[in-house]
Amino acid sequence: MILDEEQTAARQWFEALRDRICAAFEAIEADAGSDARFDYIAWDRADPSGAPGGGGVRGVMKGRVFEKVGVNVSTVGGTFDGEFGKTIYGAADDPRFFATGISLVAHMANPHVPAVHMNTRFLATTRRWFGGGADLNPPLPFAEDTADFHAALRSACEAHPGTGDYPRFRQWADDYFFIPHRGVHRGVGGIFYDHLEGPFDAGFAFTRAVGEAFLDIYPRIVRRRMDTPFTPEELEVQRAWRGRYAEFNLVYDRGTLFGLKTGGNVDAILMSLPPVATWA
């Protein structure tokens, strides 16, 4: 694929952010006495037309602190296949598209350490926009962790007036990360935004701020909780909660559907699923 200047800038940022996040997570493992490191697997995608359609790199680490964490980057493009394109913003009349982004899900060994999700992306159809966000998913919530996570994202929003709308994006996350058939949220929220149009520089700057906020706050929360003793009963709470997380990602998550409908790498798409979960 031939990328224009904006597409190239976005792709390079997501890849650089991936490298910094993975380094921070590996440093946590090292401090815990673990030699766990990320394994990276590249994948290629074919467009429905048969032409090369981009690809990505799946990074997964299984360690002492991070029971399973995936950090994926992808850059794909071509044409949407069939009716799916009509459901995508700006693609109803023209199925051509481009998408680049980073997606992260961490499932933790200690139930006192919150799981987390973060994803930011840049898409181009007949429109161009940024989307993404981050949300905290603790099996055993701590008010301090929730407050600090939200404070970091609120600061990122407030530093970009006119683009980052924290009250709206926080409510959007609460509405989106909800499991209707259970009647519960999958975590304690964060922010979610989509179809963020307008000047590229403004949307890009805000999206970078979200990534920086995540990189600053989440490792600090992990270090705060990772040595907390836990009981077998608390571990069972974590595994039952993970079942709810899996239900959301398989039934409702739009990113999962987008990846499957556009011929993405199945292992990369489903890296969000927890390593061990239980259902009653």
**Of 107, 112, 117, 150, which residue is the catalytic one?**
117
b/e burial code for range 206-244 (CB count within 10 A of at least 16 → b):
bbbbbbebbbebbeebbeebbeeebeeeebebbbebbeb
Known catalytic membership, residue 117: yes
In this structure, the strands spanning 178-179 and 128-137 are: unpaired
Q: Which residues have a catalytic role annotated?
A: 117
